[in-house]
Every structure is written in structure tokens, then in C-alpha cells.
Structure 1
């Protein structure tokens, strides 16, 4: 059975982010049997979720006999990876995940520029409502592993610690939102995902 690792980047990020590239490089060098998919996601929440569902639908069509899915998500991608885990019953690794992003992103309403793509767009109140609608309760915390650094300057690590209190949690002192020394983790991530 084919194994697929779906990596979901965060808000105003891209497949070119350091963690996404480190994950892809490790898989290519050490587990070429795994198909690593790192899609460029739309800038708004409902469009992002629709794109994720389409990506998985394409995989289901391509691998009609089945495939094993594992998700990795960073920041807002961690929020989306939680939804993937709940919707598709797969394991997920969440890196400095955004918790209740509908509250967090209220501070970012207005014009935005993605620093990777240069794309400009407006983050609107309806996008905050989309995030609220996309939130899901965690019903299977054993399928989740949270990698969290206390030095995250963007997100309060305590929110993730509390939200995912029954999940597997690796909480590190120091670090930052980009997750310092992420290159230590790809092998462990793949093992946790069961790929």
C-alpha cells in the first residue's frame, strides 16, 4: 500500500518554507517509497480546506485500492491537520499549532502579502468566520503528536498544551515559531505517522 505524507504549511507561508523543505528532503533521501505532497494552499480558510479535500480526493481516485495517509501541519497548518485527522482518521503531527485561529487572526485583518509568493490579498471578517466553522473537537487525541517550543513568539504555547492535553506532546524550552532545529524530527515524524 502506498504511503502519503501531506504537509500543510501555515498562514502566509508556502511549500518553500524551511520545515517543509527539510521534511521533503528527508523523505526523498530516506523513504523514497513515501509520496510527500506539500501543496501551495490558498490564502483564505474555506478555500484552503476545499483544496485539501480536493488533494485527498485526487489521491483516492489515483490509489483506488487504498493508501495510508499521514498529515503534518505547522501553525495554521496544524489547525488544518487536526481537521484532516478527524475527517480522514489518520495520524497527524502538529508543529507549533494555531489554536482557535479565529481569535488570533482578528489582529491581522486587512491587507496581507505572502512573503514567499508576493501575492497580495485582504483578510476579511468572513475569513475569521470560516475559521470558526472549520474548527473541530479532538475526538482521537492518540492520533496526534504536538511538537511545541515555549519560545514561540507568535503563538502562546500554553494554548496548544491545554487544547491537546491528551495528545502526545513534546514541549521544548526556548525555540521560536519557526521551530528551531526541526531537522531532528523527520524520522520520528514518519514513524509516528506509521508510514
Structure 2
């Protein structure tokens, strides 16, 4: 079996609670969790390179990382686990154009208006990927029903309660493991 590539969300880092939980469960060497470039097209180029060179067989993406995971699951007909995925980041992130701080370490970065247009060019139709979509109804950032509707022909789990950070990923590890097989 290949490796898992964990794709973090907007303003986050590769080394966070979810990636640490995944590495603890699946083994440090079986999970890649890089810091992604801020520019969407740079992120796509970087992720594509990892998929091509690192024996990746499963994508796990949270929020914006879920949007990126969808792009690659469709491009390569891969399996992807999506945690509160963003379905239209060009809309939800438009309010964040300007200077921001990463949640993980307070590093300052600029989210440029050109990135919104880049995100819109990455929208893809759900046809070739295989998805496990894990949603929490109390996501304070994204409306979970949008992802529930978009991925409705796939395995979608809605947990009532929770939040955008999907802090209880540990409870889903065995489900993620079974989905990968």
C-alpha cells in the first residue's frame, strides 16, 4: 500500500493535530503532510510533484485541502478522504484577501486577489475519484450541506456537532483505514 498525502486547509500548516493523529495511527513514514504554498497554482504544482514521486495512493484533505484533494482525485481517479471540505473556495476565501496570519505559528502571509481567480480555474466535476466525506454540522466556517450535496453519490458521514477543525479525527481512523483498502 502507498502513502497518505495530507493536505491542510487555508492558513494552516502541514504539522497540525490532524496530521499528527494520522502519523500516529498509520506510521510516521506513511503520511506526508507538507506546508502548502499559498498561491493555489503553486500548491497544485507542488502536490502534483509529490503524487508523482512519493507513491501516494490516498489523499486526505481538510477544508481548502479537501478542495485540492478533489482536484487530484479527479485528475488521477484516486481515493480521497475529505474533512469539512471547501467546495467553492473562490467564494469563501474572498473575504481573506490581504495580509493573514497562519493559525499554526502566526507566520504572516499575503493572500492575493489573483489567488481567487486561480481557485476558480481548479473547479472540477465529480466523476473519477472515490470519496469518503466526513462532515460536522456545526462547522462555523463552511456550510456542510454544500459538500453533502456535491459528494452525494459517495460515502458521506455527517456528525452532528463538531466544528470546522474536525478535532475528533481519531474516532474515524479505522473507517479511514478500511476505505483505503
TM-score, length of structure 2 as denominator length: 0.93
Structure 1 residue runs of 5 or longer lacking an equivalent are 60-66
Structure 1 residue aligned with 2:147: 160
Structure 1 residue aligned with 2:156: 169
What is the CA distance between 1:80 and its match in structure 2? 0.6
What is the CA distance between 1:50 and its match in structure 2? 0.9
Q: Does 1:76 align with 2:55?
A: no
What is the CA distance between 1:68 and its match in structure 2? 6.0
Superposed CA RMSD in Å reads: 1.6
1:51 to 34, 43, 46: 46
Structure 2 residue aligned with 1:190: 177
| SS in structure 2 of the partner of residue 73 of structure 1 | strand
Structure 1 residue aligned with 2:21: 22
Query: Structure 1, residues 70-119: CA drift from partner, whole Å, max 9, x if none?
Result: 11000101001111111111110000000110010111111112132433
2:99 to 106, 111, 120: 111
The higher radius of gyration belongs to 1
| SS in structure 1 of the partner of residue 85 of structure 2 | coil
Contact kept in structure 1, 2:6 and 2:32, CA below 8 Å: yes
Q: Does 1:91 align with 2:79?
A: yes
CA distance in 1, matches of 2:49, 2:167: 32
Contact kept in structure 2, 1:102 and 1:131, CA below 8 Å: yes
Contact kept in structure 1, 2:15 and 2:33, CA below 8 Å: no
Contact kept in structure 2, 1:15 and 1:21, CA below 8 Å: no
Q: Which aligned segments of 4 or more residues in structure 1 are displaced greater than 3 angstroms?
A: none
Structure 2 residue aligned with 1:64: none
Structure 2 residue runs of 5 or longer lacking an equivalent are none
CA distance in 2, matches of 1:115, 1:35: 25
CA distance in 2, matches of 1:84, 1:20: 19
Structure 2 residue aligned with 1:102: 90
CA distance in 1, matches of 2:73, 2:178: 16
| SS in structure 1 of the partner of residue 60 of structure 2 | strand
TM-score, length of structure 1 as denominator length: 0.87
CA distance in 2, matches of 1:135, 1:150: 24
